[in-house]
Amino acid sequence: MVNILTTTIDHKNRRVKVSLGKKVLTFPMVKKALVRVKGYLEKDYQIMVEGYFAGRSHPREVKAFLFALKMLGKENKVIFVDKAGYRKTERRKIRKRVEKLYVKGKKVKELSKQFKIPEKTIYRWVKTKP
């Protein structure tokens, strides 16, 4: 079985970053990640869990977990970060805008900086445009 969890520990700033790779965030994955860093949570480190939320702000399991942390006064100790830059609907709108600007003559490098999207992605989007 491939290990999809990666853990980075910053002792100086008392932070632990757990990356769940390219998998969608699920409760069993969060549980596994937090069990792995339990000792750091007990030592009052801040834990950042990074993953994809599959188009939702937080799955209900994560919301329940955050609620439990809040009840214990530890809501600021575990943070969930969505790695997805944009949601599907946002990406579609941005893609249309990028395509229009590209057709009007704007350079890919400029579009990349303006929209904070990799040049490679923009080239893929506009490859069929004149």
pLDDT tens for each residue of 25-58: 677 777 787 788 888 888 888 888 887 766 556 6
Global pTM reads 0.58
Phi, psi of 13 (to 5 degrees): -95, 5
Task: Write down the pLDDT at residue 26.
Answer: 72
Task: Write down the pLDDT at residue 1.
Answer: 44
Rounded to an integer, the average pLDDT of 54-71 is 71
How far, in Å, CA of 10 to CA of 130, rounded? 48
How far, in Å, CA of 63 to CA of 98, rounded? 35
Under the banding of pLDDT at 50, 70 and 90, the label for residue 2 is low
- Tell which phi-psi region holds residue 73, choosing left (phi > 0), alpha (psi between -120 and 50) or beta: left
Q: In whole numbers, what is the pLDDT of the chain averaged over residues? A: 81
